Homo-oligomer: A and B are copies of this chain.
Amino acid sequence: MASDTAFRGARVLVTGGVGFIGSTLATRLVAAGAAVAVLDNMYGEGGANPANIAPVRDRVAVAIGDLNDAGTVAPLLDGRDFVFNLAGRSSHMGSLADPLADLDINCRAQLGLLELCRRHAPRARIVFASTRQMYGRPDRLPVDESHPLRPPDPNAVSKMAGEAYHLLYHRIHGLETVALRLTNTYGPRMRIKDANQTFLGVWLRRLIEDCPFEVWGGEQRRDLTHVDDVVDAFLLAASVPAAVGRVFNIGGERTVSLAELARLMVAANGGGSFELKEFPAERRRIDIGDYEADDSAFRDLTGWRPRVTLPEGLAQTLAFFRDHRGDYL
């Protein structure tokens, strides 16, 4: 587990900080004694939910705006020690519907933020939330960071370019950037209204509502990471100097098939049912098949490993959403 004492008194900005992972990270940093500001554009189709930060609302400075709104963002950057950059849109289908908006948010605004960092926080450690999506359909499993990038949808192109700018700004401008390529993240505070934060959101919603959920295909293998383990990875990435200028995969405890995952969810829920359906044709063209991260580079460098098992993580997540149903449905 990351050493939270490193962040006591640190001045930290979390972008996308009202979203799923961002708010979990901000909450953890508040508990660690950091001075935390969050920036979020409160985009309605994304993960932002005021309930996510309600418990720490009086101990966090919240700014609403885009990453490249200089007037809002520049004062937030001045004097920051750490920038956890989690703002972005992750909807693959959404990026097909409006690829230009996807590019503006995941790439153009990121470049704007980096330009602002050059001027206002040139010595901050910056950790960027990237994605394994850019590998496309893997040539081999597990996938390490040298795997060719073959973005399967517009979202993966924009994230690939956003990540490349982060690494480039280390090489040419000396910014202390690190990028983490995340796989499917789950846990309390995720968006479960719809599938905008992966299929898992919808599965959780249907279980909470005591309805059967649909599993498309079912044989695809994925590695899921609990949000607490992802937050650990962000804190470690920010703490270990040798991580600077590099990109790392972050994987899960183990891989599961989607059918197996569905059974684990029903078990964690103490009941429920699902239906296996054929994989929809319109999604097949952007589907990546099986995925398993080789995250040994990050584990070896930082000592990180996932601690939350799927059965306990799923049970805890379901309990959270039952307790906070009104805030998330």
Contact = CB atoms under 8 A, between A and B. Distances in A.
A99 B151 CA distance: 22
Interface stretch (A79-87, A124-132, A160-168): A160-168
A288 interface: no
A107 interface: yes
Interface in A46-102: 96, 99-100
A158 interface: yes
Nearest to A147: B148
Given A100-B112, A115-B99, A168 B172 contact: no
A157 to B, nearest CB: 5
Contacts of A161: 103, 107, 157-158, 160-161, 164
A19 interface: no
A299 B160 CA distance: 30
A138 interface: no
Query: How many copies of this chain?
Result: 2
B172 A151 contact: no
A112 B157 CA distance: 14
Nearest to A158: B161
B168 A152 contact: yes
A161 B285 CA distance: 19
A111 interface: yes
Contact of A165 (B157, B168, B286): B157
A67 to B, nearest CB: 12
Interface string A141-154: 00000101101111
A119 interface: no
Contacts of A152: 168, 171-172
Given A115-B100, A146-B148, A164 B157 contact: yes
Given A100-B112, A161-B107, A161-B161, A168 B148 contact: no
7 contacts: A96-B172, A100-B111, A103-B161, A104-B108, A149-B149, A160-B164, A172-B285
Interface of A: 96, 99-100, 103-104, 107-108, 111-112, 115, 146, 148-149, 151-154, 157-158, 160-161, 164-165, 168, 171-172, 285-286
